[in-house]
Amino acid sequence: MVALLKIPFADIASFPAKRYRLDNGLLLIHQRVTAAPVVTVDVWVKAGAATEPEPWSGMAHFLEHMIFKGTNRLLPGQFDQIIENRGGVTNAATSHDYAHFFVSTAAIDLPDTLPHLADLLLHAAIPDAEFELERDVVLEEIRQSFDDPDGLGFQVLLETLYQSHPYGRPVLGDAARLVERSPQEMRWFHSAHYQPENMTVVVVGDVEWETTLDLVSRAFTEFPSRADCPRPAVKPEPPLTGIRRQVLELPRLGLARLMLGWATPGIESLRSAYGMDLLSALLASGRTSRLVRELREERYLVQDISSGFSLQRDSSLFTLTAWVDPAHLDQVEAIIGDRLSELATAPVGEVELKRCQRLLCNDYAFSTETASQLAGLYGYYSVIAQPELAVAYPQVISSFQPEELQQLANQYLSPLRYAAVVLQPA
């Protein structure tokens, strides 16, 4: 178990959903929510971009598109029509650690919709003609990503920070390598990773447990024959020994961007990772946070500055991004470095810590109001750690003391070792 389980087991036992592992290895999570006669089915697969061999960059995201192109029983587009005709919604997403596919529909329609979702996921046909057509869609998506300065800068930041780990590769993939891929390679990737031990089915809404178990047990049975698919060589990311910097000059860019990134603990030290979330809120979340107050509200050196923390399985990501006049870039980066040094040498005040804890706990409460939000939360934790940990977040956040945050800042937010990307007007 991960390090976060130092918290009392009684709190983990309060997990409000039912967890059940089918004989084939698939994990089912169910929670009855009767506030409205709706249900969300969210299927999470440990088949994100980090599972791709480097020459197959973009395969996981491309497969997400192709899943909806039908099976031997469903024509391309027919699944979407089935869901939309019942007033439901469906979508999917791919990240480095996962791919997930969800449907929200009226609870009464679950028996008529869930089997079709399972059919798509287990029996994706990946037709040759549809493969060629959809590849053009994905290639256009990659081209459009270069028109977004902030997205482009963020990807360069990932590549600068993660030079060994697949987290540095774009989820959308590399256009030149994607052109070389074949439908058969995608079928191999699908049948290698879309297996029951890699899959979690989350069902949250106004549906009873017995009905859910029966539907899932019957729908998720005939998995594809397992294929021998190349696996990536995942190496631990060596710690930074200095500042890695990239400077990009972009046309039609008004304000410069200063993007700073640190690799921080993943699930192997989940309590420390949650502490980094607190430090993110303290530094640049809201008008009274340290960097926003000083750099934007008092000294007018930035148009805006924000922090970000992304919990990932192997290594989480901590970022600071400032939108700034090019003339102030060096000054802003120097001030950020000074404030990080202060954070590592002096404990956080109790009032400031309580504000950040309250902010994150309230954000958590607002993000767990609906069936779809709960399904996403449970599924996310099921692929990066274990689902029960999803409900421990508020208690863990509330348990931090100033000295522990000071230690984490000193250990992980060095002003001398980070990745930096600067976007400047050409």
Using CB atoms within 10 Å of the CB of residue 385, give its burial: 0 to 12 exposed, 13 to 18 middle, 19+ buried. Answer: buried
0.75 cut: is pTM over it? yes
Q: Sort strands 315-324 and 256-265 into parallel, antiparallel or unpaired.
A: antiparallel
Q: Which two structure tokens, joined as six digits, stand for 334?
A: 């120097």
Residue 9's pLDDT is 42
Q: Which residues are bridge partners to 302 per DSSP?
A: 324
Beta strands at 27-32 and 18-21: parallel, antiparallel or unpaired: antiparallel
Return the structure tokens found at 263: 């690799």
Q: How much is the pLDDT for 4?
A: 46
Rg (CA), the chain: 23
Any residues with CB less than 8 A from the CB of 300 and at least 6 apart, and which?
none
- pLDDT per position in the chain (426 positions), as tens? 444 445 444 456 589 999 999 999 999 999 999 999 999 999 999 999 999 999 999 999 999 999 999 999 999 999 999 999 999 999 999 999 999 999 999 999 999 999 999 999 999 999 999 999 999 999 999 999 999 999 999 999 999 999 999 999 999 999 999 999 999 999 999 999 999 999 999 999 999 999 999 999 999 999 999 988 888 877 778 889 999 999 999 998 989 999 999 999 999 999 999 999 999 999 999 999 999 999 999 999 999 999 999 999 999 999 999 999 999 999 999 999 999 999 999 999 999 999 999 999 999 999 999 999 999 999 999 999 999 999 999 999 999 999 999 999 999 999 999 999 999 998
> Which residue segments constitute the domains of the chain, with CATH numbers given?
33-219 (3.30.830.10), 243-425 (3.30.830.10)
* Res 235: pLDDT: 78
Phi and psi, residue 248, nearest 5°: -120, 135
Q: Which has the closest alpha carbon to 60: 192, 155, 180? A: 192
The CA distances from residue 424 to 158, 159, 376, in Å, are 18, 18, 37
Instruction: Write down how long the chain is.
Output: 426
Strand partners, 32: 205
Strand-pair category, 243-250 with 418-425: parallel
Residue 11 confidence (pLDDT): 57
**DSSP assigned state of 293:** I
Tokens of 332: 């802003």
User: Beta-strand (E) ranges in 182-238?
Assistant: 199-205
Contact 261, 163 (CB under 8 A): no
